[in-house]
Chains A and B, each alone.
Chain A
Amino acid sequence: MDKRRFLKVVAASGACCLVPGSAVAHLLGPAALGGERGYKRARYAMATPRGVKCLLCPNECQIKEGERGDCRCRKNAEGELFFTGYEIPCSLHVDPIEKKPLYHFLPKSRSYSLAVAGCNLACLNCQNWQISQVSPQEVNSFDLPVKAVYQQAEHYNCKSISYTYTEPIVFYEYMYDAAKAAKEHNIRNVMVSAGYINERPLRDLAPVIDAANIDLKSFSDETYMRLNAGSLQPVLRTLKILKEMGVWLEITNLVVPDWTDDMQMITKMCHWLAKDGFEEVPLHFSRFTPRYKLQHLPPTPENTLNRARQIALDAGLHYVYIGNVGTTEAAHTYCPSCGTKVIERRGYAVSVAALEKGHCTSCGNAIAGVWE
């Protein structure tokens, strides 16, 4: 072999290695479906000449035979769309409800928290990319039938079940069934989500969900696309629908340096919330810490969070908190009418200082929330 030929062979070998795994998988053909663990027919899908179209979230992936959608947990197998993480959560934990964060929903209670691998967004700062950017089949998972979810919650003395850690929308079928069963046993359901869901599935889901914390990641379509691979409008629609359907709602805004710490954008967001009737909805400005693909950025300075909080209060929002910063005065709940500290928080230590049956003991003003 002369040198030219040698180099050609080397280049060809390199090209072979660069062929995407999906193409190889396609050549190998779709995986056999028979009795595969975690499979359940997807609720929101439509057959099209190009494959199955998933109608669960605004991504509306057109999924070819044997392939998975952007969320990695919905797969076209033999022309039908399957959710592949049913009853196989990858994370289980008992958390204080304040960790979600939900500050106005059953304070001091414990929430049985679970997640299935996968996510329909691709945030550069994802805190749990190990389980969100993979399929349920790529992680170690537990067997937890729908019935066992509320049983475990009861066993651990939890007042609620939280569908959290990853994006619960992508395990919609499991969340819906578990939430329905839990509701029948008087256990509440909490969804901690980015709110990136289509209208119909959301309206179907809302009756079994008691509370939600929605991550409003920024207030700019461009930032949503660049940072999270999503868009803003569907999230705003989710907020409106949840509020309209009586789900207790709290909003989190993660302040990422250089990405979402623009005070003008925060001002715009706060004014939108105040104008559209969300002034009673608690808003949490959360501190970013270096994670995943944004590990070179510094954590958000606490002063930035305090400035954002002040903007929100000035815009007319009543309950604004900062989070992920340790002990701070901005973690307490103050009565918007008289300014009395009604709930005090230090980490997970919560003391109800001046609240009785949802009213400030000092002035009698109703504090929005689900207290019992």
Chain B
Amino acid sequence: MSDSTSHLRIGVFMLGASTFVAQVVTLREFLMLFQGNELTLGLTLALWMAYVSIGSLVYRTREYRYKRQWYLVFLLVLSAAPLLLLSLLPVLRYALYEPALELGPLALVALFSVTMGPYCFIAGWAFPWLVAYANRISEKNHAGYFYSLEALGSLVVGVIINLLLVLFLPAVLFLSVLAITGFACTAYYAFCWRKRTFGILLPIIIILLVIAIPKWQDAEDYLPYLKNAEDVRIQDTPNGRFIQFTKEGERYFYENNVPLMGQWQPVLAEELVHFGMSQAESPSRVLLIGQMFNRHIGELLKYPNITIDFFCPDVSLRAQDSLFSDLSETRVNVFWGDPVRSFRESNTTYDLILVDLPKPATVRVNRFYSLAFFQQANEHLSPAGIYCLHLPVSGTYFDKSTAELIVILGQTLAEVFPEQQYVKAEGSYLMAGNTPLNYHLTQSIEMHKLSTDYLFPGMPTAQELAHNSQRVLNSFPEVKVEVNRNLFPVAYFAAIHSWLAEVGANSHLFWLLPLIIVLLAFIFMPVRAFGMFAVGYTASSFEFLLLMAFQVFFGYLYLATGFIIMLFMAGLSFGAYYGYRKSYKPERLLMRLIFTLIFSLMIVWGLDRLEVGNLSAIVLGVVLLIVSLYVGLLFSAITQDSYKHRIRVGVIYGADMLGSALGALLTAVYVLPGIGFYYTLLGLVVLNGVAWVRWNLQKA
């Protein structure tokens, strides 16, 4: 096999496979460690791409000798590193930082840098190295072909993971399968090339991994809340990691490291239920949308003649429903799953809808506070029905982002309901309906002679409630806010700001630095590199937009992540291979990409309005496939063109990855929540337009 490039092709394929598995598991692990919002997702993806980019750019500075030993080391790194580093991640997190402390984005950057950072760096470095190695052997440009092979590696593994393993194997086993495959490859080449050192090295590494990994994976050793816990059960589910345990006789449930406890304060349960019941005129059918641990059902059951439908999004707790005796009442019907779907599938009309959900700190949760959701709710309300929303903020403490959130949600409700009012009591509430509202919110307790612990007839009085509520509203500065829409999630933006303030991070850092880099790239990057930079930015940004659109339409994230990345890789692989075989002019492809983006903008606009259900997934998938196809084609076309102009592939690949990093970060954190889905897509059109103009000017 002396002059053959076949082993390099295997290496590139392994590179694609390894990075795919590692990326999916990394996203999952970081989502679990860092509060699980889109900022975490965007930042993790951005760091990934940035390290790959740095690795790729660094390769250009030095000439490396192409030794077979290095190739074997490279295979070993690809195989063992993800397993080793990702197992190390939780251990490091709890060793380096206060275990119980919620961490901010800077800690994420630090932890990524000491775990997956080196791996990504090597992956970035390896691609141009392998291309240059192959080019030297066969005197031909392999960049497009290898790009296609790398994507194919990701695709094949993506299919295996998404269609088979995700349902049966926990994350650590995905990585183990990858490691075993890589070790087999290494052993095979070591044997063929008679590299005896590796015959000794390989078993040592395997033994070390076998000893160390189970220890690191033992969550009970490092998760702070599992200290002194009994009857611990840990489950990897398609939604993430579900943990349950007992402490001092109390059962606790965690999903992705977040306690599933809902609103524990009984006073808030009393307020929401009795305020709503007082506002509605003798309601008989009530819909409750909330979490399992909220105490609303118990309060609602105090009213003798009502039927309760309960939409519960805590699917993980479904198997535990025997713990909640209220659910077995004949007057209570429980609908598990996504409330948006439950609404879509239901024809029932309600006299009262009570909503108590967490903050819109993710795009998924933001859907329950959006214009579309309120419209859906109104369609299910009787003519005198009331929509009563417990705001996920305190009734007493208002910082600026909390105030902004209240104003946004109030304005969004006002778009749908002619009548709406804010109520400040122990909690904060928004009530809305189609008939006039009032502040006599304890009258149902009096009327039904109910026994309550926190609210009593005439306490608080209507006058107090009205006065306090108005005073709070008056204290808010007059700001012009947008209505909260699924694809323009301004409430999510406010919640993310609130989270950044909570963890003490400087929110400006996350847009200022990337923006400076984009501007520098525009000014200083050579035209071909900038073209690839724009395409990379578009690719990751578009991928992220699609992730968000999937969440909006279908309400899940983790399971969708693998599918979306997989589809994207299919497009990349096919596009890059096709571009490698044919000769395309990059500027023409850029123009076609621009038209595709405009086309997809119209498609999503249509889907958002038509509510075509599962068809949306297919259409969005096709759009993603077309965009990724163009990205692949463009990579091949630009590298072919660069090869002619003696520009090294590391620069192009590095620019691609740098663009991807910035695209993921800016889109996730600022551009999307700041200007909405449609303008973000329009921004991508403009960016590619600029690249196209620069390209043509250069030519001219």
Which residues of B have CB within 8 Å of A297?
100, 224-225
In the complex, are the beta carbons of B502 and A347 less than 8 A apart? no
Given contacts A92-B471, A258-B224, A303-B249, contact A128 B394 (CB under 8 A): yes
- State the Cβ distance, A279 to closest chain B Cβ, in Å: 27
In the complex, are the beta carbons of A17 and B102 less than 8 A apart? no
B516-542 vs A, CB cutoff 8 Å, 1 = contact: the mask equals: 110010001100000000000000000
In the complex, are the beta carbons of A140 and B102 less than 8 A apart? no
In the complex, are the beta carbons of A299 and B264 less than 8 A apart? yes
B60 sits at the interface (CB 8 A): yes
Which residues of chain A in 295-342 are interfacial with respect to chain B, using CB atoms and an 8 Å cutoff? 295-299, 301-304, 326-327
In the complex, are the beta carbons of B453 and A327 less than 8 A apart? yes
- The segment from B114-122, B308-316, B395-403, B561-569 that touches chain A is B395-403
**Residue in B98, B398, B509 whose beta carbon sits within 8 Å of that of A140 in the complex:** B398
- State the Cβ distance, A136 to closest chain B Cβ, in Å: 12
Which residues of A have CB within 8 Å of B460?
94
**Residue in B35, B498, B520 whose beta carbon sits within 8 Å of that of A9 in the complex:** B520
- The segment from B161-169, B255-263, B411-419 that touches chain A is B255-263
**Residue in A3, A131, A141 whose beta carbon sits within 8 Å of that of B61 in the complex:** A3
Give complex CA distance A294, B509 in Å: 24
In the complex, are the beta carbons of A14 and B513 less than 8 A apart? yes
A50 sits at the interface (CB 8 A): no
Given contacts A141-B475, A142-B471, A301-B249, contact A289 B454 (CB under 8 A): no
**Residue in B35, B397, B453, B503 whose beta carbon sits within 8 Å of that of A349 in the complex:** B453
B250 sits at the interface (CB 8 A): yes
Give complex CA distance A4, B524 in Å: 12
Given contacts A3-B60, A299-B264, A349-B453, contact A138 B101 (CB under 8 A): no
B266 sits at the interface (CB 8 A): yes
Closest to B249 in A: A303
Given contacts A130-B402, A131-B398, A347-B454, contact A301 B468 (CB under 8 A): no
Closest to B511 in A: A17
Closest to A10 in B: B517
Closest to A129 in B: B502
Give complex CA distance A129, B456 in Å: 30
In the complex, are the beta carbons of A292 and B502 less than 8 A apart? yes
B247 sits at the interface (CB 8 A): yes
- State the Cβ distance, A218 to closest chain B Cβ, in Å: 14
Which residues of chain B in 204-256 are interfacial with respect to chain A, using CB atoms and an 8 Å cutoff? 224-225, 227, 247-250, 252
Give complex CA distance A293, B377 in Å: 35
- State the Cβ distance, A311 to closest chain B Cβ, in Å: 15
Give complex CA distance A6, B533 in Å: 14
In the complex, are the beta carbons of B509 and A293 less than 8 A apart? no
Given contacts A3-B60, A6-B520, contact A298 B509 (CB under 8 A): no
A260-299 vs B, CB cutoff 8 Å, 1 = contact: the mask equals: 0000000000000000000000000000011011111111
- State the Cβ distance, B97 to closest chain A Cβ, in Å: 11
A371 sits at the interface (CB 8 A): no
Give complex CA distance A140, B406 in Å: 13
Given contacts A90-B398, A258-B100, contact A21 B506 (CB under 8 A): yes
A140-175 vs B, CB cutoff 8 Å, 1 = contact: the mask equals: 111000000000000010000000010000000000
The listed residue with most B CB atoms (<10 A of its CB), out of A10, A298, A303, A346, is A298
- State the Cβ distance, A323 to closest chain B Cβ, in Å: 12
Given contacts A17-B513, A294-B102, A349-B456, contact A128 B397 (CB under 8 A): yes
Which residues of B have CB within 8 Å of A139?
398-400
Which residues of B have CB within 8 Å of A92?
468, 471
A366 sits at the interface (CB 8 A): no
B508 sits at the interface (CB 8 A): yes
Which residues of A have CB within 8 Å of B227?
258
**Residue in A13, A140, A257, A326 whose beta carbon sits within 8 Å of that of B517 in the complex:** A13
B304 sits at the interface (CB 8 A): no
Closest to A345 in B: B453
Give complex CA distance A181, B267 in Å: 33
Which residues of B have CB within 8 Å of A124?
98, 100-101
A1 sits at the interface (CB 8 A): yes
Which residues of chain B in 500-515 are interfacial with respect to chain A, using CB atoms and an 8 Å cutoff? 501-503, 506, 508-509, 512-513
Give complex CA distance A223, B267 in Å: 31
Give complex CA distance A259, B35 in Å: 21
- State the Cβ distance, B596 to closest chain A Cβ, in Å: 30
Closest to A256 in B: B100
Give complex CA distance A4, B516 in Å: 17
Closest to A14 in B: B513
Which residues of A have CB within 8 Å of B468?
92-94
Query: Interface size of A by Cβ–Cβ distance < 8 Å?
Result: 55
In the complex, are the beta carbons of A140 and B475 less than 8 A apart? yes
In the complex, are the beta carbons of B513 and A296 less than 8 A apart? no
Query: Interface size of B by Cβ–Cβ distance < 8 Å?
Result: 59
**Residue in B397, B452, B456, B524 whose beta carbon sits within 8 Å of that of A91 in the complex:** B397
Give complex CA distance A302, B247 in Å: 10
Give complex CA distance A10, B508 in Å: 16
A7 sits at the interface (CB 8 A): yes
- State the Cβ distance, B361 to closest chain A Cβ, in Å: 11
Which residues of B have CB within 8 Å of A23?
none
Which residues of A have CB within 8 Å of B257?
296
Which residues of A have CB within 8 Å of B464?
94, 156
Give complex CA distance A21, B248 in Å: 45
B558 sits at the interface (CB 8 A): no
B576 sits at the interface (CB 8 A): no
A18 sits at the interface (CB 8 A): yes
B666 sits at the interface (CB 8 A): no
In the complex, are the beta carbons of A13 and B516 less than 8 A apart? yes
A134 sits at the interface (CB 8 A): yes
In the complex, are the beta carbons of B394 and A293 less than 8 A apart? no
- State the Cβ distance, B328 to closest chain A Cβ, in Å: 21
B127-159 vs A, CB cutoff 8 Å, 1 = contact: the mask equals: 000000000000000000000000000000000
Which residues of B have CB within 8 Å of A304?
248
- State the Cβ distance, A117 to closest chain B Cβ, in Å: 9
Give complex CA distance A100, B400 in Å: 25
Given contacts A139-B398, A290-B261, A296-B257, contact A6 B524 (CB under 8 A): yes
In the complex, are the beta carbons of B509 and A17 less than 8 A apart? yes
Give complex CA distance A232, B60 in Å: 58
In the complex, are the beta carbons of B101 and A347 less than 8 A apart? no
Which residues of chain A in 244-266 are interfacial with respect to chain B, using CB atoms and an 8 Å cutoff? 257-259
In the complex, are the beta carbons of B524 and A1 less than 8 A apart? yes
Given contacts A293-B102, A294-B101, A295-B102, contact A347 B520 (CB under 8 A): no
Which residues of chain A in 1-35 are interfacial with respect to chain B, using CB atoms and an 8 Å cutoff? 1, 3-4, 6-7, 9-10, 13-14, 17-18, 21
Given contacts A9-B520, A93-B468, A294-B101, contact A302 B396 (CB under 8 A): no
In the complex, are the beta carbons of B503 and A293 less than 8 A apart? yes
Give complex CA distance A258, B475 in Å: 39
Which residues of chain B in 377-405 are interfacial with respect to chain A, using CB atoms and an 8 Å cutoff? 394-400, 402-403
B651 sits at the interface (CB 8 A): yes
In the complex, are the beta carbons of B100 and A259 less than 8 A apart? yes
**Residue in B57, B452, B498, B508 whose beta carbon sits within 8 Å of that of A3 in the complex:** B57
Closest to A305 in B: B248
**Residue in B264, B394, B477, B513 whose beta carbon sits within 8 Å of that of A130 in the complex:** B394
Give complex CA distance A132, B202 in Å: 56
Which residues of chain B in 438-455 are interfacial with respect to chain A, using CB atoms and an 8 Å cutoff? 452-454
Besides A6-B525, A165-B397, A349-B456, 10 new A-B residue pairs in contact (Cβ under 8 A), listed by A number: A3-B57, A10-B520, A130-B402, A131-B399, A139-B400, A258-B99, A258-B224, A293-B102, A299-B264, A349-B452
Chain B residues proximal to chain A, CB less than 8 Å:
35, 57, 60-61, 98-102, 224-225, 227, 247-250, 252, 257-259, 261, 264, 266-267, 394-400, 402-403, 452-454, 456, 460, 464, 468, 471, 475-477, 498, 501-503, 506, 508-509, 512-513, 516-517, 520, 524-525, 651
- In the complex, the 7 A-B pairs of residues with the closest C-beta atoms, listed nearest first: A347-B453, A301-B248, A130-B399, A303-B248, A1-B524, A13-B516, A128-B397
7 example contacts (A-B, Cβ-Cβ < 8 A) are as follows A91-B396, A139-B398, A140-B476, A293-B102, A301-B248, A346-B453, A347-B266
